[in-house]
Amino acid sequence: MTLPIERARSRRPVTWLTLLGVLLLPVVIGGILVASLYNPAERLDEINAAIVNEDEPVTIGEQTVPLGRQLTAGLVEGSDDLDSNLTWTISNADDAADGLADGTYDAIVTIPANFSAAATSTQPGETPEQATIQVQTPPDSLVVDDAITAQVTQAAASLLGQQLSQVYLENVFLGFTTLGDQLGEAATGAQQLADGAQQAAEGAAQLPSGATQLADGAGQLATGATSLAGALNQIAAGIGGAAGGARDLADGLDGAAAGVQNQQLKDAANASAAYADTAADQTLALALQLGNDKPENGPIGLAQQLGALAQQCIASGADPLYCQQLGGVAAQLGDAAKSAGDAATSAGYANGYAAPTATGIASLMDQTSAGISTAADGARGLAAGLDKLQAGTAQSATGAGQLASGASQLSDGGDQLATGSQSLADGVAQLASGTDSLADGLGTAVDQIPTYTEDEASSLADVVADPVAAEGTGTSLFGASAVPLLATAALWFGGLATFVALQAVTRRSLASRAPSAVLALRAFLPAAAIGALQGLLVAGVVQLAASYDWGEWSVFAGLCVAAGVAFAAVNQALVAVFGGAGRWIAALIGALAVATGIVSTVPPVLASVASLLPTAPAYNAMVAALTSSGGVAAGLVGLLVWALLAFLATVVAVTRRRTVSARSLIEASVATA
């Protein structure tokens, strides 16, 4: 069944099969692109990768740390953020290389032998080293396979690194608490040291004065010791003379002992005894004579009489001096009478002791002689002791001289000690000031060092190990703009395919009497209908893959219909104005739309050109319909403007086709003749 629609570059009629092919072309293109590229993260298991674990575990604190096995397990287990995972095969280096060469594996992840050692090199005493893994893909790998493998591998490595960082940071934060406690103890000790140093400084400040006093006292001691040495020398000399005198005394005592035994002395003693006997007899006779007299006639009575006369003398008014003399004579006479009585008594005793005394004197002389001999021996012993005392005194004098020398040196040392003590006092004062500053600094440090419990350290380490988290990012390797881009490209190439099959400007335009606008509209309406159906079908395919909400999809479907109509108008205008080159330009526009919509790193010139193309408003409006960004109305206005401009360009092209020059007519006549 044929249709009254002109076929491009052929006079054969257009059939329904032709229209169906044109109609389904963008649907097929869009379906293939969406099915192949939309949300590839759900089909990661189509990628086969090999894991070669060559890691050698390390031992930390008697605990084995096999980080290579842990990373392998993390890769095989996959991530909660992704719906699927690569198909991993744990292999060896040779098998993995062969599999990569023959296409069995799409990638190889190699964990080197030093992975655990490098990852744990943050331990004290070790040189830090970054742990690395190697990802190898074949030279003929597909475009996105490398990115997918790198993303999955990097996610696992980052997770393991985050866990290691969390453990390390937790130990660091707990170390802050330990450090704070130790610094607190150090601050307390420094404060105690500062207090002790201050006391030492005060004591050291008194030390120079004491050292000066010591020097002065040592000087005085030296002077006194010198004087003592001189005095001891003099004493020694005197002791020597005393020793000589003691020896002379011993000799004299020997002579005295001999002299005491003289017979003449004994005879004299006997004579003295006889004389004493005679005197005693005479005195006794006198006493008896005086005692035999009558009292009133004796001296006593006479004294009493003179005393009475003396009293009468005063009463009689005689000369007082005479009366006084008379009383004195009476008193003297009384004393003489008393003395005579005492003498008589003594004479009696002397008469009784005279003979025994002579005998006692002789015995006493014998005893005295023996005692003097003993005293002579003692004097000689004294002389010997004095000789020893003289020698000791001389030695003492020598020692006193040495003491004087030592005391002089002590005095000099005391002066030096005073100077050094002053320096010591200054140094200890500086030490006290410095330790006090140290104590203050340590106290400030303790106040500024944070302290954490184990739970706090764990929570903080968890945050610091992964300080920034991105929310709202999809795991699909294509963003929300993937569907609008694919739909725009499919509809654009659908519009291009429409005017590959259909005629953009009717061949009857030259002979037709209808206005150019009507002729342009007759060629546009079938293409517009095809474009609208293409838009609706593409939106349906997208809904089957993405399952959007009805509200979002309805707006998106309306934009697809509008884009299909506008793209039909633009492609008609390109072919109408430029002929076959217009289709080339249309293909170039589609390539630019796809290239600039995949990544933002395209050259700015291409991005600027793409923003002016008719595909830009369609793409922007579809993105706005499926996301929260605005721009649906602006996109519709842009599509309307491009459709109107394209229709006007088609009208102009139709008008030009209806104009023929005279030269063309002549050439045509000649050709037919």
* pLDDT for the residue 452: 62
Q: Which long-range contacts (CB under 8 A, 24 or more apart) does 63-68 make?
A: 65/116, 65/120, 66/116, 67/115, 67/116, 67/119, 67/120, 67/131, 67/160, 67/164, 68/111, 68/115, 68/116
Question: Considering only 236-250, 265-279, 653-667, which range has the smallest mean pLDDT?
Answer: 265-279
How many Cβ atoms sit within 10 Å of the Cβ of residue 66? 16
Any domain includes 367: no
**Among 59, 112, 47, CA closest to 85:** 47
Residue indicated by tokens 């990628």? 47
Instruction: Specify the higher pLDDT residue, 557 or 455.
Output: 557
pLDDT, mean over the chain = 73
Question: Considering only 272-281, 401-410, 466-475, which range has the smallest mean pLDDT?
Answer: 466-475
Please say whether the beta carbons of 615 and 590 come within 8 A: yes
Distance CA 157, CA 119 (A): 11
Q: Is it the case that residue 596 has pLDDT exceeding 90? A: no
Question: Considering only 82-96, 364-378, 451-465, 584-598, which range has the smallest mean pLDDT?
Answer: 451-465
**Among 2, 32, 13, 1, CA closest to 501:** 13
Query: What residues does 107 pair with on adjacent strands?
Result: 49
pLDDT in tens, 151-162: 666 666 666 666
Single out the residue in 126, 142, 158 at which a domain terminates.
142
Please say whether the beta carbons of 69 and 119 come within 8 A: no
Looking at the chain, the number of H-run helices and the number of E-run strands are 17, 8
pLDDT band at 403; cut points 50, 70, 90 = confident
Please say whether the beta carbons of 138 and 106 come within 8 A: yes
* pLDDT for the residue 591: 87
- Three-state secondary structure of 121-186: CCCCCCCCCCCCCEEECCCCCCCCHHHHHHHHHHHHHHHHHHHHHHHHHHHHHHHHHHHHHHHHHH
Any domain includes 297: no
- Do both 22 and 133 map to the same domain? no
Single out the residue in 108, 142, 176 at which a domain terminates.
142
Query: What residues does 110 pair with on adjacent strands?
Result: 52, 134
579 φ/ψ sector (left φ>0, alpha ψ -120 to 50, else beta)? left
Alpha carbon dihedral 285, 286, 292, 294, in 10-degree steps, equals: 170
* pLDDT for the residue 1: 46
Q: Which segments of 298-319 does DSSP mark as H helices, in order?
A: 299-315
pLDDT band at 470; cut points 50, 70, 90 = very low
Residues 6+ apart with CB under 8 A from 440: none
Any domain includes 374: no
Q: Beta strand pairing status for 107-111 and 134-136?
A: antiparallel
* pLDDT for the residue 161: 64
pLDDT in tens, 511-527: 677 888 888 898 899 88
201 token code pair? 């400084």
pLDDT band at 350; cut points 50, 70, 90 = low
Strand, helix or coil at 107?
strand
Instruction: Specify the higher pLDDT residue, 17 or 506.
Output: 506
Instruction: Work out the widest C-alpha separation in the chain, in whole angstroms.
Output: 241
Q: How far apart are the first and last CA of the chain?
A: 38
**Quick one: average pLDDT of 469-489?**
63
Query: What residues does 194 pair with on adjacent strands?
Result: none
- Do both 9 and 71 map to the same domain? no
Any domain includes 356: no
Q: Is it the case that residue 410 has pLDDT exceeding 70? A: yes
Question: Considering only 73-77, 343-347, 599-603, which range has the smallest mean pLDDT?
Answer: 343-347
Please say whether the beta carbons of 47 and 107 come within 8 A: yes
* pLDDT for the residue 441: 75
72 token code pair? 């392998």
Instruction: Look up the domain containing 567 and give its range.
Output: 2-38+480-672
Distance CA 469, CA 366 (A): 136
**Quick one: average pLDDT of 404-420?**
78
Kind plus residue range of the DSSP H or E element containing 53: strand 48-53
**Among 221, 609, 187, 105, CA closest to 440:** 187
Q: Is it the case that residue 268 has pLDDT exceeding 70? A: no
88 token code pair? 């991993």
Single out the residue in 142, 170, 185 at which a domain terminates.
142
Any domain includes 584: yes
- Do both 522 and 613 map to the same domain? yes
- Do both 32 and 72 map to the same domain? no
Q: Is it the case that residue 473 has pLDDT exceeding 50? A: no
- Do both 9 and 46 map to the same domain? no
603 token code pair? 């050259």
pLDDT in tens, 171-183: 555 555 666 566 6
Any domain includes 508: yes
Q: Identify the sign of the CA torsion 390, 391, 395, 398.
A: positive
Q: Is it the case that residue 4 has pLDDT exceeding 70? A: no
Any domain includes 401: no
Q: Is it the case that residue 383 has pLDDT exceeding 80? A: no
Any domain includes 244: no
Instruction: Specify the higher pLDDT residue, 82 or 246.
Output: 246
Q: Is it the case that residue 409 has pLDDT exceeding 80? A: yes
Q: Is it the case that residue 471 has pLDDT exceeding 50? A: no
- Do both 523 and 639 map to the same domain? yes
pLDDT band at 79; cut points 50, 70, 90 = low
**Quick one: average pLDDT of 110-122?**
83
* Residue-by-residue DSSP string for 531-566: HHHHHHHHHHHHHHHH---HHHHHHHHHHHHHHHHH
Distance CA 305, CA 462 (A): 147
AA letter at 183: L
CA Rg value for the chain: 74
pLDDT band at 2; cut points 50, 70, 90 = very low
Distance CA 518, CA 175 (A): 87
Q: Is it the case that residue 556 has pLDDT exceeding 60? A: yes
Instruction: Specify the higher pLDDT residue, 539 or 300.
Output: 539
- Do both 28 and 69 map to the same domain? no
Q: How many domains does the chain have?
A: 2
pLDDT in tens, 209-262: 776 887 787 778 778 878 877 876 787 677 777 667 767 767 776 776 666 665
Please say whether the beta carbons of 475 and 41 come within 8 A: yes
* pLDDT for the residue 469: 39
Strand, helix or coil at 50?
strand
pTM for the whole structure = 0.48
Q: Beta strand pairing status for 13-15 and 2-6?
A: antiparallel
pLDDT band at 284; cut points 50, 70, 90 = low
* pLDDT for the residue 651: 92
- Do both 65 and 20 map to the same domain? no
- Do both 594 and 617 map to the same domain? yes
- Do both 49 and 28 map to the same domain? no
pLDDT band at 472; cut points 50, 70, 90 = very low
Please say whether the beta carbons of 411 and 222 come within 8 A: yes
Distance CA 300, CA 292 (A): 12
* pLDDT for the residue 297: 54
* pLDDT for the residue 564: 93
- Do both 34 and 53 map to the same domain? no
- Do both 128 and 92 map to the same domain? yes
